[in-house]
Amino acid sequence: MAKVLSKEEWKKRKKLYAYLKLVAAAMLALLIVLILLIGLIKVVRNLFSKGDLTSSASPTMKQELDITELFLTPNGYTRPQNTLKEVKGIVIHYVAKSGSSAVENRNYYEGLKSNSTSKTAESCHFIIDLDGGIVQCIPLNEVACASGTRNEDTIAITFCHPQIDGEPTAQTYESLLKLTTYLCAEYGLTKDAVIRHSDLGDQSCPKYFAEQEGKWAAFLAELDTALGKVAKEKK
């Protein structure tokens, strides 16, 4: 048999119900606020990550590149782990050590981590080998130490070369073009965002392209054509 409640007990029970209702309402309100907040964060994020919105790179583009990740050990000189917040350009360099391989150059950067006497801060996101293979030294959400004041908003690519003239091999050239095309597509950049280190004042880098405007113009024209193709395929 149900217990008959006294007036006092009824009052208590009513109070408890009222309290529970209030808690439920508060939780619901909190949930709604949370959902709205997450929605707002997503909208703001999309507004600021232009790259995501305009990216026309297909997943196969990256797969076609022969990239080996050999990230440098985090250190204050060559991999300071500063966040690369926004990519506004790509800077092209050359390694300036004739005949050296991508791994040798990567290991040179790695060796600089303990080189506190020379305090040389030198690194690159990508190094393109003599055979067209690519070594990645720095993740794309971190800055590299390659392009002075533009480290903060650019991706740095350097390439190997057999001779002192800095001319890339056919395979290196092809990889350089493919990698640059992929990165432009990925970050929604045009050929105008691709520059030489010499455009930032270092007149000797990358020697081959810095000294021969025609070769550089030809590279940019090929890049433009490749990007046009990517955009068409996207449609």
Site of interaction with Zn ion (CB under 5 A): 93, 197, 205
CB of 139 to Zn ion, least distance (A): 20
In angstroms, the CA 22 to CA 25 distance is 5
Is 124 or 134 the residue whose CB approaches Zn ion more closely?
Answer: 124
For Zn ion, the closer CB: 79 or 93: 93
- Segments of 55-193 assigned E as strands: 67-69, 89-94, 126-128, 134-136, 154-159
Bridge pairing between strands 134-136 and 126-128? antiparallel
Q: Which is nearer to Zn ion, 57 or 127 (CB)?
A: 127
> Please, what is the minimum distance in Å from the beta carbon of residue 92 to Zn ion?
8
CB atoms within 10 A of CB 105: 23
Nearest-approach distance from CB 119 to Zn ion, in angstroms: 18
Q: Measured from the CB of residue 223, what is the shortest distance to Zn ion in angstroms?
A: 18
**Cβ-based nearer residue to Zn ion, 96 or 230:** 96
CA distance linking residue 210 with residue 198, whole number of Å: 6
Amino acid identity of residue 72, one-letter, is L
